Amino acid sequence: MALLQVKTESGMVEGLTGWNQAVSIFRGIPYAKAPVGELRWKAPQPAEPWEGVRECYTWGNISYQERRASEGGGDLIGNEFYCVDWPRSEDCLYLNVWTPAKKGDEKLPVGVYLHGGGYSQGYGHLNCYDGEGFAKRGIVTVTLNHRLGIFGYLGHPELTAEDEHHISGNYGVLDIIEALKWVKRNIEAFGGDPEKITVFGQSGGGDKTTTMLVTPLTDGIVKGAIMQSGGGLNMVFGEKSLADSEEAGKKLIEGMGYANIAEARKASSEELLQRVREYAGPAPMATMHLFSPCADGYIFPRHWGRLIQDGQFKDIPTMIGCTSQEFVKDVNVNGGDMALPDREKAFADGERDFGDGEAFLKAIKYDTDKQYAAEMYATCVGMTGNTYAGDLAFCESQVANGHKPAYQYYLTLVPPTATTAHHSAEHQYVFQTLTKSARPYTGRDWDLSNKMADYWANFIKYGNPNGEGLPEWTPYSAECKQAMNIDYDLKMIDQQTNDLIDLMVATDLKK
């Protein structure tokens, strides 16, 4: 029988036993105090202790955010991932633990997964993030929720003035750091090893993982990192200083009709979202740069892209990779030459104009004649190339600075019924959650899923994805610039490093 009751620093928690009786699941454990009322836009505070046993049977609230558009079963924005309308609240600082441990002193490796959705959407208990598959491989697995959007990334001079470190705009990042510190202090009671914590994430979660690589506030905590389709030297979110964040936040608060931060703190969660929508537009992409971390001089001495370029990040093993057609999924454009327009214009004119859920989705998927479709296609192509180049640039920096091995992958797999090797295509394979999708997966998909889960689990355990029965995965090096090609036929392929990397990184760092 697996562990069912565990003593944490705040009190006893009780979990549930998985279907196979080998894994215990603890849902909705508070890792910090609810950031509501006067704690809105402040650093996370220690969780309130409780008496007796806290029943951790249900997921915690997800961060207050825009409801996700859904067509009902799409590749990325659809019921495959965002299928349940979970309760939203600013009271969202909860984490979940899956453990195979039978007792609290087993010291198993720990994997902490950071969800995707950029910095404005997502949550840690998506059906494709089920940690049971990793737990069955001997890994204590953690997922978490943190503040997003205006609740997590509002910079403002008034907020900076009231903060003990004279910073603002990085509350969601501070939440993740607080969760990692909680894991470091408490995971041993769940059978985990606090000295063997790997952080991993996909898309926005990959970017968040990169921030954990560079911030000194996680030194001594993070011992490995996996960045999937985001992070590394991928500069999609651009470069932003504390002053930039403060100026943008000041304009936002004024544009939303509030006299000051005190007045904005009194507004309801929904009122804030509504006024952001009126000010910036309804689509998540409209606020992608507005609500993202900034280089504040404390959490981040400089922008993490520049820190990585200069080798100023943790010397730990890493895995990094992307899919071959990331953001190009289902965007059809009539033939003919297309000039690549400015990405900001594409976001503004394309998604903002049609960002009200299904209208945007249908326009992009079905209407091939509109100029905005061509612009969005160009945007997606640019972001896909940026992701690939960012991975290569990260590996080059890892090698140039003599850091521990970097293992790169390049996924060309086209899942059943999909049209491309799209963004998020690896989720169900890595987490072994194929049955949670409506796709008609077959035996060869399960075979690949077993191999991919083994690669990821081996890396979390040993800092090296290789293991018995798996094709050898060679680390990236000056002599061997190769990546594992993830498809039904796993094999190493050559990578092309050229001026594209320098061009894309330099262009993004100017933003």
User: Which positions ≥6 away from 261 have C-beta within 8 Å?
Assistant: 41, 156, 158, 159, 253
* Strand 11-14 relative to strand 5-8, pairing: antiparallel
In whole angstroms, give the CA distance from residue 105 to residue 124. Answer: 26
**CA distances from residue 89 to 50, 175, 179, 307 in whole angstroms, order as listed:** 21, 15, 18, 34
Catalytic residue among 168, 203, 229, 437: 203
DSSP character at residue 99: E
Q: 201 near 124, Cβ under 8 Å?
A: no
Rounded to 5°, the CA angle 115-351-372 comes to 140
- 241 assigned to active site: no
Dist CA 466 CA 457 (whole Å): 10
Q: Tell me phi and psi for residue 200, to 5 degrees.
A: -145, 155
Residue 165, H or E segment: none
Contact in structure between 233 and 309 (CB atoms under 8 Å)? yes
Place of tokens 């009902």: 72
CB within 8 A of 341, min separation 6: which ones? 375, 378, 379
Q: Catalytic residues, which ones?
A: 203
